[in-house]
Amino acid sequence: MTELNLHFDNRFIRELPGDDSGSPHSRQTPHVCWARVAPTVVSKPRLLAYAPEVAALLGLSVDAVESENFAEVFGGNRLLPGMAAYATRYGGHQFGNWAGQLGDGRAISLGESVNSQGERWELQLKGAGITPYSRRADGRAVLRSSIREFLCSEAMFHLGVPTTRALSLISTGDVVRRDMFYDGNPRDEMGAVVCRVAPSFTRFGHFEILAAQGEMTLLRQLVAFTIERDFPHLSGPIEARFAAWFSEVCERTAQLMVAWMRVGFVHGVMNTDNMSILGLTIDYGPYGWVDNFDPSWTPNTTDEDLRRYSFGKQPKIARWNLERLADALMPVAPDRKLLAAGLIVYDQVLQREMQTMLTAKFGWLNPCDGDDALLGEIFGLMQQCEVDMTEFFRALALVDVRQPDVQTLASSFYQPLLFDNHRALLDDWLQRYSERVLSEAENEPTRRERMNRVNPRFVLRNYLAQQAIEAAEQGDMAPLHRLLQAARQPYAEDCPADLIAKRPEWARHKAGASMLSCSS
């Protein structure tokens, strides 16, 4: 049997109090941060896909990942020596309201593996069965949502967006019943388990639940633990460390928002329980990618009316979420002014990095007076004229700024008529854009190259993921593997043409291909 050589050092359960009973029954778990619970056995675990880069991070060979033992372990049927299975306790603000205890309802951690470089990677199965935090739900995940989490985690990583990673996608051989449209017509779907990997899965909600329940000693303990384990570079007396820590959480969250806005990613459920303390993208549910540029777009059908989590609102919502984290930390902060200072860091980093990001996306070298007007105009036009965000920026790189021709941008429009109707306005904008580029006297190949490094050619468009899902449900994994391959080089020029095509018309309103429910 090929060895799965992993070394574990499970600090979270060693250093923080837990409920050791092992009982999976649904309950409140006051005064602890975790509860021991074994994954529920599945009937026929089968490896459908894995990320070789993540296996390498953990020090796992290809043979080890493709062994039968791997599917057994990462499908949830067996624990390796040193592993410990547990679910963690957190709360959260959902859609703006305090929701009480939530917790890992279908995620079960298997421990913190430490690789040969001493890097710590927590392994967590998603869809591994009920835990004390499952409430009335089944603890399972369906294949379709597992494929979406698996693919998008890796796509985001290769785009340069901070994210949890995905090691493996395993079908369980069991069916899971889901009402995908919440219309009273549930159907049986294939079950799956994703093993996700991150240095820490701690969320804002882990702190919030303790503050909400008045468990201040434990809250203090979790803060100290988080700083030590997850922010080991911070040093000095506790007051200084606390300030630096909260400020870094704010800074990382700002960087994350800028990264999402750069690539057109919409998380869809930015509840505080889905916010990582490390500023990673976490919990891939009804997320989506912007096709036609539209700040008011949300992929989440549950959010259709309020649009709280729409594309353009994400930076504001992150700020609101950080404020909820600050509220939770208030009772244990050495000085509450430190929290206000952290939030100001968020605003400053966000503003500075958004400007840097946009300057780079448009191919300019340095920000300059008048840029805001140019940006405002083009974003307005892009929204009005249904312009594909991804395609637009790659086309903009191709514009010959010495003889700008608006036709270069035509391919990024969904409706030729809208292009024709706005030709004069676009032409006028492009003239001024080109003068702006020329004012920095850089050669064209260099500008193009710089732009193509920040403007992806391939993004995991919703309809592409949906096609891979439909094929996988029929037993054909080839489209999924092809997407994973493309996701590895999202900025490369030579991506297969069908994977970089704008959203086809049939996908505009198709469930799964444009809008998604939370049912997963």
Residue 134 interacts with which of Mg ion, ligand AMP, none, CB < 5 to 8 Å by class = ligand AMP
CA 126 to CA 128: how far, in whole Å?
6
- CA-derived radius of gyration, the chain: 23
Q: How many CB atoms lie within 10 A of CB 379?
A: 16
Question: Quick one: which segment of 103-111, 241-249, 394-402, 442-450 binds ligand AMP (CB under 6 A)?
Answer: 103-111
Q: Which residue has the tokens 């790189």?
A: 397
Question: Quick one: which segment of 4-12, 43-51, 138-146, 227-235 binds ligand AMP (CB under 6 A)?
Answer: 138-146
Query: 56: part of which helix (H) or strand (E)?
Result: helix 52-58
Does residue 102 touch ligand AMP according to CB under 6 A? yes
CA 465 to CA 483: how far, in whole Å?
8
User: How many chain residues are in contact with Mg ion, going by CB under 5 A?
Assistant: 2
Does residue 133 touch ligand AMP according to CB under 6 A? yes
Residue closer to Mg ion, measured from CB, 192 or 227: 192
CA 281 to CA 54: how far, in whole Å?
16
Question: Quick one: which segment of 102-110, 217-225, 249-257, 482-490 binds ligand AMP (CB under 6 A)?
Answer: 102-110
The single residue among 11, 89, 93, 106 that binds ligand AMP, judged by CB under 6 A, is 106
Question: Following DSSP, what letter does each residue of 496-514 receive, concatenated?
Answer: -GGGSSPPPGGGSS-BTTT
The single residue among 10, 88, 274, 276 that binds ligand AMP, judged by CB under 6 A, is 274
If we measure between CA atoms, which residue out of 263, 50, 281 comes closest to residue 153?
281
If we measure between CA atoms, which residue out of 27, 36, 205, 31 comes closest to residue 132?
27
User: How many chain residues are in contact with ligand AMP, going by CB under 6 A?
Assistant: 16
If we measure between CA atoms, which residue out of 150, 153, 127, 158 comes closest to residue 140?
127
CA 254 to CA 248: how far, in whole Å?
10
Q: Which two tokens stand for residue 158?
A: 């290769």
Does residue 175 touch ligand AMP according to CB under 6 A? no
The single residue among 23, 25, 63, 137 that binds ligand AMP, judged by CB under 6 A, is 137
The single residue among 279, 285, 342, 479 that binds ligand AMP, judged by CB under 6 A, is 285
Shortest distance in whole angstroms from residue 165 CB to ligand AMP: 18
**Which 459-518 residues touch ligand AMP, going by CB under 6 A?**
518
CA 515 to CA 430: how far, in whole Å?
33
Q: Which residue has the tokens 């429910």?
A: 517
Residue closer to ligand AMP, measured from CB, 36 or 140: 140
Respond yes or no: is residue 405 known to be catalytic. Answer: no
The single residue among 10, 109, 134, 298 that binds ligand AMP, judged by CB under 6 A, is 134
Does residue 283 touch ligand AMP according to CB under 6 A? yes
Does residue 274 touch Mg ion according to CB under 5 A? yes
The single residue among 89, 93, 140, 361 that binds ligand AMP, judged by CB under 6 A, is 140
The single residue among 47, 57, 138, 379 that binds ligand AMP, judged by CB under 6 A, is 138
Residue closer to Mg ion, measured from CB, 208 or 283: 283
Does residue 108 touch ligand AMP according to CB under 6 A? no
As to burial, measured by CB atoms within 10 angstroms (0-12 exposed, 13-18 middle, 19+ buried), residue 473 is: middle
Residue closer to ligand AMP, measured from CB, 124 or 168: 124
Residue closer to ligand AMP, measured from CB, 32 or 477: 32
CA 56 to CA 62: how far, in whole Å?
9
Q: Which residues contact 508 (CB under 8 A, 6 or more apart)?
A: 514
Q: Are 365 and 442 in contact (CB under 8 A)?
A: yes
Q: Which residue has the tokens 């029954």?
A: 25
Q: Which of the following is catalytic: 19, 104, 230, 273?
A: 273
Residue 133 interacts with which of ligand AMP, Mg ion, none, CB < 5 to 8 Å by class = ligand AMP
The single residue among 37, 42, 67, 104 that binds ligand AMP, judged by CB under 6 A, is 104
Residue closer to Mg ion, measured from CB, 226 or 272: 272
Does residue 100 touch ligand AMP according to CB under 6 A? no
The single residue among 283, 294, 353, 388 that binds Mg ion, judged by CB under 5 A, is 283
Q: Which two tokens stand for residue 51?
A: 């990320």
Q: Which residue has the tokens 């570079």?
A: 233
The single residue among 18, 103, 162, 315 that binds ligand AMP, judged by CB under 6 A, is 103
CA 90 to CA 273: how far, in whole Å?
7
Residue 518 interacts with which of ligand AMP, Mg ion, none, CB < 5 to 8 Å by class = ligand AMP
Q: Which two tokens stand for residue 257?
A: 């928002």
Helix locations, 214-367, DSSP H: 216-230, 238-263, 314-329, 337-361
- The residues of the shown chain that bind Mg ion, judged by CB under 5 A, are 274, 283
Residues with catalytic function: 273
- The residues of the shown chain that bind ligand AMP, judged by CB under 6 A, are 102-106, 133-134, 137-140, 269, 274, 283, 285, 518
